[in-house]
């Protein structure tokens, strides 16, 4: 009998070891990690250089409380992180995960509004579907009904705009008019709410688990940034899943040359070696908050030296192994293979993604985009069959959490062609 409990009573085998792109359970069965955990283990498992860096840090110190000490490890990671962010974003605050980071970004934004005499701004607009975390603050801006509804009475309702699902709306994502159409919905919402009451817009640059690697239509992200600027609304990019090389750039924002106000990082940022997240904010924004009385926020483990040493070593490995480039190259190779699967398996209605943030969606009908009947639970069945065959992939409901079935295929960025073959051969058999 296990004393652990998670989301469901379903039990998975005990994990024994993990190396590179593979994991082994205690019975010696091998699994290819086709989802990097939950899009986390970007540099693969048990990277020896990261383990060495952690060992070296552990021998020096494992904890220094933030109000008593800075550490070399946190200073170093902050500098490395800022250097990877757009110009003028040099201020970093560490936390232990994605939800904490999202909450931190929202609280920093609010304290900035207060510091600059805009205390009327408190509404945070987000999109539906979206996922920003499971704590009550992050959940309040998450657009995924089954996760949020039970807690609705406990959270302040926040405005949402539709995530641009051009393929469902019959629009061409390559047509700039499509991007403009969805961005206009944000502006309309800001105007409806009253711009002076809107604090921030939070967005995943490429949709994550809630939409299945949904890439924004051409022009959308740039238009969104322009609209936010014009209305004094802070732009917060949730790069928890898209960051650390996943989309073929270190940050997804590089695809569109964006300069947001706050960037949120976690997952691949420490690649599963330690719990770590961060927010990176514009210098002037943080300066205003600090001058205005300080950042009223903080977690006991913020800036933990072991976590930060691991984070720096992960960034080193991403650079040394040229993983951002590999994500782009292997992403293109994976897309070709998934397109090939779609040609053989009519149940695949859409293949999408950027870099190695890839997904496909299963549908009952390509033309009408009708989803499979929800009771079939097709996404979970495919995940379970693949798991039995030794391939781990990640799935969710595509359409607001209620129906639709997408499978995310997001292996570690260290994959080669042979791993992609293994992934697609297994998916082929599982789909059959």
**Looking at 72-80, 125-133, 228-236, 325-333, which segment touches ligand PMP (CB under 6 A)?**
125-133
Residue 266, interface with ligand PMP (CB under 6 A)? yes
Site for ligand PMP (CB under 6 A): which residue of 33, 103, 204, 261? 204
Q: Measured between alpha carbons, how far is 258 from 280 in angstroms, rounded to an integer?
A: 14
Nearer to ligand PMP, 113 or 270 (CB): 270
The least CB distance from residue 86 to ligand PMP, in Å, is: 19
Site string for ligand PMP, 37-76 (x = CB under 6 A): -x--------------------------------------
Tokens of 394: 């990640």
Residue 99, interface with ligand PMP (CB under 6 A)? yes
**Looking at 62-70, 97-105, 180-188, 211-219, which segment touches ligand PMP (CB under 6 A)?**
97-105
Site for ligand PMP (CB under 6 A): which residue of 93, 94, 131, 250? 131
Residue 238, interface with ligand PMP (CB under 6 A)? yes
The least CB distance from residue 269 to ligand PMP, in Å, is: 10
The least CB distance from residue 124 to ligand PMP, in Å, is: 14
Site for ligand PMP (CB under 6 A): which residue of 37, 97, 268, 305? 97
The least CB distance from residue 140 to ligand PMP, in Å, is: 13
Nearer to ligand PMP, 241 or 263 (CB): 241
Q: Which residues bind ligand PMP (CB under 6 A)?
A: 38, 97-99, 102, 131-133, 204, 208-209, 238, 240-241, 266
């Amino acid at each position: 009998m296990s004393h652990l409990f998670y989301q469901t009573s379903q039990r998975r085998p005990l994990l024994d070891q993990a190396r590179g792109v593979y994991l082994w359970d205690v019975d010696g069965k091998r699994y290819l990690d086709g989802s990097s955990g939950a899009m986390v283990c970007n540099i693969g498992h048990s990277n020896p250089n990261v383990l060495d860096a952690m060992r070296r840090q552990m021998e020096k110190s494992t904890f220094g409380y933030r109000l008593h000490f800075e550490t070399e490890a946190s200073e170093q990671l902050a500098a490395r992180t800022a250097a990877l962010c757009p110009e003028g974003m040099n201020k970093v605050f560490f936390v232990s995960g994605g939800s904490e980071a999202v909450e931190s970004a929202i609280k920093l934004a609010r304290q900035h509004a207060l510091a600059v005499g805009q205390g009327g701004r408190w509404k945070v607009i987000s999109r539906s579907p979206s996922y920003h975390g499971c704590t009550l603050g992050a959940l309040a801006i998450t657009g995924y009904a089954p996760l949020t509804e039970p807690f609705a009475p406990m959270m302040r309702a926040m405005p949402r705009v539709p995530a641009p699902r051009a393929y469902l709306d019959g629009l061409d994502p390559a047509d700039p008019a499509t991007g403009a159409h969805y961005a206009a919905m944000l502006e309309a919402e800001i105007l409806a709410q009253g711009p002076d009451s809107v604090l921030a817009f939070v967005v995943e640059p490429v949709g994550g688990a809630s939409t299945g690697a949904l890439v924004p239509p051409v022009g959308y992200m740039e238009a969104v940034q322009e609209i936010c600027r014009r209305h004094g609304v802070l732009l917060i990019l949730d790069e928890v899943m898209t960051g650390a090389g996943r989309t073929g750039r270190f940050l997804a924002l590089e695809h569109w040359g964006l300069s947001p106000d706050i960037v949120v990082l976690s997952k691949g940022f420490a690649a599963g070696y330690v719990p770590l997240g961060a927010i990176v904010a514009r210098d002037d924004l943080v300066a205003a908050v600090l001058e205005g009385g300080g950042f009223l926020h903080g977690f006991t483990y913020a800036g933990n030296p072991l976590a930060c040493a691991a984070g720096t070593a992960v960034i080193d490995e991403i650079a040394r192994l040229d993983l951002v480039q590999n994500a782009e190259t292997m992403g293109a190779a994976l897309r070709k293979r998934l397109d090939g699967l779609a040609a053989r398996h009519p149940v695949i209605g859409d293949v999408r993604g950027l870099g190695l943030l890839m997904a496909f969606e299963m549908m009952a009908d390509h033309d009408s985009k009708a989803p499979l009947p929800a009771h079939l639970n097709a996404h979970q069945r495919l995940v379970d069959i693949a798991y039995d065959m030794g391939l781990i992939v990640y799935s969710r409901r595509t359409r607001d959490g209620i129906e639709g079935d997408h499978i995310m295929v997001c292996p570690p960025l260290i994959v080669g062609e042979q791993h992609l073959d293994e992934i697609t051969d297994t998916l082929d058999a599982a789909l059959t």
